[in-house]
Amino acid sequence: MSERAYTVIGTRPIRHDGADKVTGRAQFGADLRLPGMVYGAVLRSPYAHARIRRIDVSRAASYPGVLAVVTAADLPEGPDRLLELVEGTLPLSYARANVLARGKVLYKGHAVAAVAALNRHLAEEAAALIEVEYEPLPPVLDVLEAMREDAPLVHEDLRMKEFGEPTGKPSNIGEHFRYELGDIEQGFAEAEVIVEREFRTVMVHQGYIEPQNATALWNQDGRLYVWTSTQGAFSAREAIAWILELPVSQVCVTPMEVGGAFGGKIRVYLEPVAALLSRKCGRPVKITMPRRDVFEATGPTPGTFIRVKMGARRDGRITAAQVWMAYETGAFPSGQCGFGATCMLAPYDIANLRIDGYDVVVNKPSTAPYRAPGATQAAFAAESVVDELAERLGMDPIEFRLRNAAREGTRRADGLKYQRIGCVEVLEAIKNHPHYKAPLGGPHRGRGVALGYWFNIGWYSSCTIAVNPDGTVNLVEGSVDLSGTRTTIAMQVAEALGLRVDQVHPRVADTDSIGPTAVTGGSRTTYATGWAAWEAAQDVIRQMKARAALLWEVRPEEVSFERGVFRAGDRSLSFAELAERLEETGGPIVGRGTVNPGSAGGSFAGAIVDVEVDPETGQVSVLRFTSVQDAGTAIHPGAVEGQMQGGSAQGIGWALGEEYYWSPEGAMLNSSLLDYREPTALDVPPIETVIVEVPEPNHPYGVRGVGEANIVPPPAAIANAIYRAVGVRLRQLPMKPSAVMEALWAKGD
């Protein structure tokens, strides 16, 4: 536990935006209504892969109530650049092509044209009148097939990069990279037990309940105003401006309340389209996505093929690991395979390892990050093999992991040397938890464990703090609040200034009103924006000390500040007393803070799960689930638990039921929330949480981001539990009843 005594940090205040969220007053993007606003609808491709021969919009354009129609012909064609998104980069040409297809459609659901009309129904009817002549092409839908030399090419112009260098070779492989430590030949030669297995996972969706939406107003002064559901107002501003070839300062993005994102709301989809429609009709245009479009045209996260080989000595030390992994990134490269490679062996100190990774395009929706992007699939493979190794060695799976656990100084697969990390502490917490030793209480039940890791991200954030004459402060921040970060950041300000948390009034600003701030992603917000807010608080303290010095006729260095009280000698003023006297001492005080940490301390998570397998149906029920995670310092323990429970539930869904189900032609067959089964309250048990606190060494309060690592362990932990319940190891996700039954029949049960 953290040793510093805090007043505000570690408490569980009610969120600042709480009342708005429970009264229906919170303004989500679709709730916005502007004077003169009209509605857009998007026409999407019925084919997974086709050339667009001709688009005729004349019937749509003349339909009653229609104000504008746009296609890719309305998009500018500028030079290519790389868009920096917090969890990956994307060439601008691809971002633009994903917004409205030019020349070719690359997946079913790819946007082709859009209409603005007086209401949503008219817009949808008109969109259906757009005539598109397609020349269907053979789609490539499987990651391994896409890698074959004779596979149809998704992009004629894509050239494979290998080990960072262009090869000039046309391919569906965007990139082949390799991470290597030590000498794997020697490592496997030292091994006394070797396990080698292959794993498959399929695409799953982030599954936020709020569909994508955007409202755009191309104002008569030439500026473009956009209101949208995004994880990053500034990254959205940049993407919109670049796609439309505008200076970024011509675009103002107002981030609305976001109804769930999980990585899926970093990209822009509708924003540039709404903007083009608004430019054509001179009115604000709102577009909201139907759920089917959310499934078919946003998100998902990659399906994978992963082969893992690991060797260990009889004394329980892992001597070598070799991985071959290919991720299907959908229509455009995504880079998530690299994240998976960075994270999958991160809990272990392995001297000899080699990971070969391939980013592969297929004719499926362009994949987006999903909570610890790329890591969950990879950990499913690695943690299943680790479990099997422990079993072959006759060792307890936690003892085996402890014997190989990464510590300060251990090298990660990509070469990074860890600062202080909490891997051992997470393992100890699992070992000491009553759940780990509790009786299972019935047949066909089993318990599994697994570890997960996410490296977390630093990056840039801006905050300002204005001091109010009543002794409170207004905090303005650039970070979109997805789940309560207004409060976790305000708590850090309150701690720094000696205030109560309700004396800090946080507000998320639009891109005209605050300095640049990177997206809410990478578990960075409470960490980096909290740090920026802390810096702004230090700026306030510096300025207020000078005011106190002026009043007391001492030098500013003689004024101290502790727990909300300024002192010099025997004189003192509380923060509120001094705040009241700003006008007479020189005027208002506004503190500012900006940070740009290059990295952040990573977070380890673990899961203990009990399952019961019905041998008649293959149905797997999760009976008990404990999530353990290193939070660094838990600013708001309730919010940390909420992250752990939410990530765990998503991991359970990924493990047992969620999947994109495809027709042979590449159409998603389950694009509704009826057929794509997200867990309900009946599908998950009460999720127990254990917060481990190993403070991050650089952050002023020791914060580690906690948003992501928690989703990583569940699929592997559940697979390991199923094995202990019924003796079969499932090596594909989801572990749905039919897959469990096939495994049981193959075993001869």
Partner 1 sequence: MRGEKVRVQTTINGQAVEFLCEPRQSLLECLRDIVGLTGAKEGCNDGNCGACAVILDGRLVNSCLMLGVEAQGCQITTIEGLARGTELDPIQRAFLEQGAVQCGFCTPGLILATKVLLERVPEPDESQIRRWLANHLCRCTGYDKIVRAVKQAAAQLRGVRA
Is residue 73 within the footprint of partner 1 (CB under 8 A)?
Answer: no
Tell which one of 210, 293, 610, 708 touches partner 1 (CB under 8 A): 210
Q: Does 615 bind partner 1 (CB under 8 A)?
A: no
Instruction: Read off the tokens for 633.
Output: 């310092």
Return d(Cα 713, Cα 371) in angstroms, integer. 12
Q: Could you write out the DSSP letters of every residue in 31-53?
A: G---TT-EEEEEEE-SSSSEEEE
Per-residue contact flags (x/-) with partner 1 for residues 621 to 660, judged by CB under 8 A: -----------------xx-xx--xxxxxx----------
Q: How many residues bind partner 1 (CB under 8 A)?
A: 62
Query: Rule CB under 8 A: is residue 28 a binding residue for partner 1?
Result: yes
Q: Is 182 in the site for partner 1 (CB under 8 A)?
A: no
The two most distant CA atoms of the chain are separated, in Å, by 89
CA distances from 22 to 19, 27, 479 (A): 5, 12, 22
Q: Where are the alpha helices (DSSP H) in 354-481?
A: 375-393, 397-403, 423-431, 434-437
- Whose Cβ is closer to partner 1: residue 137's or residue 489's? 489
**Residue 456 in contact with residue 704, Cβ under 8 Å?**
yes
64 binds partner 1 (CB under 8 A): yes
* 556 makes contact with partner 1 (CB under 8 A): no
Provide, rounded to whole angstroms, the least separation between the CB of residue 446 and partner 1. Answer: 22
d(CA 691, CA 606): 11
DSSP single-letter state for residue 374: T
Nearer Cβ to partner 1 (75/687):
687
Is position 35 an interface residue for partner 1 (rule: CB under 8 A)? no
Q: Which stretch binds partner 1 (CB under 8 A): 151-159, 321-329, 334-342, 476-484?
A: 476-484
Q: Which one of residues 46, 182, 282, 290 is an interface residue with partner 1 (CB under 8 A)?
A: 290
Regarding 359 and contact with partner 1 (CB under 8 A), the answer is: no
**Residue 100 corresponds to which tokens in the numbers above?**
């409205």
**Based on CB atoms, which residue is closest to partner 1, 320 or 482?**
482
Residues 6+ apart with CB under 8 A from 395: 316, 403
Q: Which is nearer to partner 1, 440 or 673 (CB)?
A: 673
Residue 724 binding partner 1, by CB under 8 A? no
For the bound state, the minimum distance from the C-beta of residue 163 to partner 1, rounded and expressed in Å, comes to 38
CA 280 to chain centre: 34
- Find the shortest distance in angstroms from Cβ 609 to partner 1: 13
Among 43, 258, 368, 450, binds partner 1 (CB under 8 A): 258
CB of 72 to partner 1, least distance (A): 28
Q: Does the footprint of partner 1 cover residue 684 (CB under 8 A)?
A: yes
Q: Considering the rule CB under 8 A, would residue 24 count as an interface residue with partner 1?
A: yes
Smallest gap from residue 194 Cβ to partner 1 (A): 37
Least Å from the CB of residue 22 to partner 1: 4
Provide, rounded to whole angstroms, the least separation between the CB of residue 273 and partner 1: 19
> What is the DSSP code string of 501-555?
GGGEEEEEPPTTSS-----S-TT-IIIIIHHHHHHHHHHHHHHHHHHHHHHHTS-
Residue 121 binding partner 1, by CB under 8 A: yes
Whole-angstrom Cα Rg for the chain: 27
Rounded Cα distance between 2 and 7, Å, is 13
Four-point Cα dihedral 615, 616, 620, 621, nearest 10: -100
In angstroms, give the least distance from the CB of 61 to partner 1. Answer: 16
Min separation Cβ 80 and partner 1, Å = 34
d(CA 537, CA 532): 9
Least distance from C-beta 20 to partner 1, angstroms? 8
Q: How far is CA 546 from CA 251, 258, 495, 574, 590, in A?
A: 38, 40, 21, 14, 13
**Of these, 678, 698, 700, 737, which contacts partner 1 (CB under 8 A)?**
678
Closer residue to partner 1, CB minimum distance, 236 or 321: 236
Q: Which one, 682 or 746, has the nearer CB to partner 1?
A: 682
23 contributes a contact to partner 1 by CB under 8 A: yes
Q: Is 431 helix (H, G, I), strand (E, B) or coil?
A: helix
Answer yes or no whether residue 211 interacts with partner 1 by CB under 8 A. yes
Closest distance of CB 215 from partner 1, Å: 13
To 10 degrees, the CA torsion angle through 546, 551, 553, 556?
-20
3-class DSSP state for residue 450? strand
User: According to the binding rule CB under 8 A, does residue 260 interact with partner 1?
Assistant: yes
The closest alpha carbon to 303, from 258, 238, 370, belongs to 370
**Residue 582 near residue 467, CB atoms below 8 Å:** yes
Per-residue interface string for the shown chain with partner 1, residues 295-334, x marking contact by CB under 8 A: ----------------------------------------
Which of 426, 417, 413, 422 is CA-nearest to residue 320? 413
Q: Are 445 and 610 in contact (CB under 8 A)?
A: yes
Only one of the segments 283-291, 488-496, 559-567, 715-723 lies at the binding site for partner 1 (rule: CB under 8 A); that segment is: 283-291
- Strand, helix or coil at 340? helix
Which residue in the set 107, 218, 262, 339 belongs to the binding site for partner 1 (CB under 8 A)?
262
Residues interacting with partner 1, by CB under 8 A?
12, 14-15, 17-28, 30-31, 33, 64-65, 118, 121-122, 125, 206-211, 257-262, 288, 290-291, 482-484, 638-639, 641-642, 645-650, 672-674, 678, 680-682, 684, 686-687
